[in-house]
């Protein structure tokens, strides 16, 4: 939903990523035993901005915010659900994809952030299947075009009604002069394993593919006559539910609304504070460690629900990152700080590790994995400052490892009685939170010498001072009190002086060394091309395809290959 109570400095309405089913305008969520139905029924007049109608189940960022919320609620509030039926609430149309008028009128920054969030939401559907056993079946009852088919591609199983007209298509190139930018190209080749020549034909034809050919080319898993469609859907849901490891009647928890107070230059959560230094183009995110010990057992964790510290912190950090991404475009760098007892953070890690077979502990770990990936994929410079009284331990130490640059203070500050800066590692740093490239942040850091990962693992649970952390390669620089202020200031001033475009390209390339995965391809190769194409006049110029779509005028292309 849009927070109409607050306006940005430029007068525009702030986009809020917090919602709940009572506020949905575009989705209907129904749970029946171990099967949930998520029906897309987009309100044409429910767009985030003026100037377009969301016809034919087309979507904008607001539609995807609700979808992302629904998937999270199924994971946390309905652990008994084993299968999600993803379908349309409208007759004879599944989804026409991203709204073209929205794309044509949106700023470049909004288009990029829209595509990124949509990609993360599709990845969240796939992660729910892989990590939690929450399978998704997509039932297509009409046209699934562009982003509509890309939504289907995120599912485990795609069913297409065989009625002579229903089809799947990725028509962005011939119609809009852009790409299926929410992972379509990559999922067709890497996930569905469609032949390259078939994929080339499929992605260059407007009308798409239907019926028998769609199955033969691996674009869908089955086509079903209209008279048998509903029965086939029910049967397939039963088949998938029988094989899912999820469920067993567990009681879920309510994802209560976040406590959040917003001022002109700050946002205050229960565990997180965000402050903006706008002249310096900085946002500082300060995380607070737990105030007490972990609960006595898993039942006590369940009773705490969304107030359980690791989950509360993850949700608040996620909201803060999304807010900066879409609403604070002039921020050049995000500075991470923390305060609290590192031993307590390690104790919570140990508690979650000991209860890793419990569904809630598992879902919290996977939530942290997704939040940390979102940080990796955020196009801002990331810097972590490890200072006295910090609690960058275990899970929170991932923010040190995720940073483009990290600084750690040696010893104490003059006339300051806070304990010296320390960091510590836990089991969580060695496999629980992989990056998009499939590696841990430590493994990505030490590609040249994997033995350094083993050296770090030998230090699990130990408090590491600045010089030891620097020797182990866990921080970039260890600085004494004399140099600290100048080192940090110069770095941040330098970062704010560089080209934002150049920095985005630099950071995105440096963060994901090592192997390539479907996910890293989507966010690196595909996204980079799409971002470039979205700036080209062939797409967005006055005579470009996005601007002329639906006018009856053909686009005028600059025919030179670049």
Q: Based on the residue annotation, tell me whether 172 is a catalytic residue of this protein.
A: yes
Q: Considering only CA atoms, which of 176, 180, 192 is closest in space to residue 147?
A: 180
Nearest-angstrom CA–CA distance, 359 and 74: 12
**H or E segment and range at residue 511:** none
Nearest-angstrom CA–CA distance, 283 and 114: 21
- Alpha-carbon separation of residue 280 from 262, 330, 380, 454 (angstroms): 20, 10, 14, 39
Nearest-angstrom CA–CA distance, 142 and 95: 8
Number of helices (H), then strands (E), belonging to the chain: the values are 23, 19
Q: Which of 77, 150, 328, 398 is catalytic?
A: 150
Written as six digits, the tokens of 66 are 């609700």
Residue 337, SS3 per DSSP: strand
Helix, strand and coil content of the chain, in percent to the nearest 5, comes to 45, 20, 40
Cβ 294 vs Cβ 242: under 8 Å: no
Nearest-angstrom CA–CA distance, 450 and 435: 16
- Residue 192: is it exposed, middle or buried by C-beta count within 10 angstroms (0-12/13-18/19+)? middle
Q: Considering only CA atoms, which of 355, 356, 253 is closest in space to residue 304?
A: 253
Terminal C-alpha separation, the chain: 40
- Torsion from C-alpha of 481, 486, 491, 497, nearest 10 degrees: 160
Q: Based on the residue annotation, tell me whether 516 is a catalytic residue of this protein.
A: no
Cβ 170 vs Cβ 128: under 8 Å: no
Q: Which of 120, 126, 172, 316 is catalytic?
A: 172
Cβ 309 vs Cβ 348: under 8 Å: yes
Q: Check the CA dihedral 357-361-366-369 and report its sign.
A: negative
Cβ 152 vs Cβ 122: under 8 Å: no
For 343-375, the DSSP string reads HHHHHHHHHHHHTTTSHHHHHHHHHHHHHHHHH
Q: Which residues are catalytic?
A: 150, 172
């Amino acid at each position: 939903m849009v927070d109409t109570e607050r306006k940005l400095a430029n007068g525009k309405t702030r986009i809020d990523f917090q919602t709940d089913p009572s506020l949905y305008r575009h989705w209907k969520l129904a749970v029946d035993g171990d099967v949930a139905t998520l029906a897309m029924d987009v309100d044409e007049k429910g767009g985030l901005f003026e100037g377009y109608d969301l016809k034919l189940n087309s979507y904008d960022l607001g539609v995807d915010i609700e979808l992302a919320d629904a998937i999270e609620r199924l994971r946390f509030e309905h652990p008994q659900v084993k299968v999600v039926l993803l379908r349309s609430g409208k007759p004879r149309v599944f989804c026409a994809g991203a709204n073209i008028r929205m794309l044509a009128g949106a700023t470049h920054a909004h288009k990029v952030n829209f595509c990124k969030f949509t990609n993360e939401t599709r990845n969240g559907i796939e992660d729910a299947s892989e990590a939690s056993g929450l399978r998704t079946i997509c039932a297509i009852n009409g046209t699934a075009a562009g982003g509509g088919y890309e939504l289907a591609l995120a599912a485990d199983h795609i069913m297409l009604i065989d009625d002579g007209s229903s089809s799947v298509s990725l028509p962005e190139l011939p119609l809009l002069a852009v790409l299926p930018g929410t992972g379509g190209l990559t999922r067709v080749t890497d996930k569905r394993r469609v032949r390259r020549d078939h994929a080339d034909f499929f992605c260059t034809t407007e009308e798409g593919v239907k019926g028998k050919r769609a199955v033969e080319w691996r674009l869908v898993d089955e086509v079903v006559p209209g008279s048998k469609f509903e029965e086939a859907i029910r049967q397939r849901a039963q088949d998938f539910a029988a094989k899912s490891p999820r469920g067993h009647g567990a009681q879920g928890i309510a994802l209560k609304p976040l406590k959040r107070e917003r001022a002109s230059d700050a946002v205050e959560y229960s565990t997180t504070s965000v402050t903006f230094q706008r002249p310096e183009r900085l946002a500082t995110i300060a995380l607070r460690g737990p105030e007490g010990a972990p609960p006595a057992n898993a039942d006590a964790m369940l009773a705490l629900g969304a107030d359980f510290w690791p989950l509360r912190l993850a949700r608040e950090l996620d909201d803060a990152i999304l807010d900066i991404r879409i609403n604070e475009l002039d921020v050049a760098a995000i500075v991470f700080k923390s305060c609290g007892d590192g031993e307590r953070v390690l104790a919570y890690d140990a508690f979650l590790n000991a209860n890793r077979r419990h569904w809630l502990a598992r879902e919290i770990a996977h939530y942290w994995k997704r939040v940390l990936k979102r940080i990796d994929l955020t196009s801002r410079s990331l810097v972590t400052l490890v200072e006295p009284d910090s609690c960058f331990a275990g899970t929170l130490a991932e923010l040190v490892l995720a940073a483009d640059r990290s600084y750690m203070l040696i010893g104490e500050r003059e006339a300051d009685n806070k304990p010296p800066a320390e960091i510590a590692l836990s089991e969580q740093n060695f496999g629980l939170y992989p990056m998009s490239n499939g590696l841990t942040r430590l493994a990505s850091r030490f590609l040249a010498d994997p033995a350094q990962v083993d050296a770090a693992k030998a230090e699990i649970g130990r408090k590491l001072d600045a010089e030891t952390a620097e020797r182990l390669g866990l921080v970039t620089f260890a600085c004494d009190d004399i140099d600290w202020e100048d080192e940090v200031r110069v770095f941040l001033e330098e970062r704010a002086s560089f080209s934002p475009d150049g920095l985005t390209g630099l950071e995105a390339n440096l963060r994901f060394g090592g192997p390539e995965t479907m996910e890293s391809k989507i966010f690196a190769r595909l996204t980079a091309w799409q971002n470039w194409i979205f700036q080209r006049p062939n797409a967005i110029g006055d005579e470009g395809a996005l601007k002329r779509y639906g006018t009856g005028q053909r686009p005028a292309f600059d025919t030179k290959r670049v």
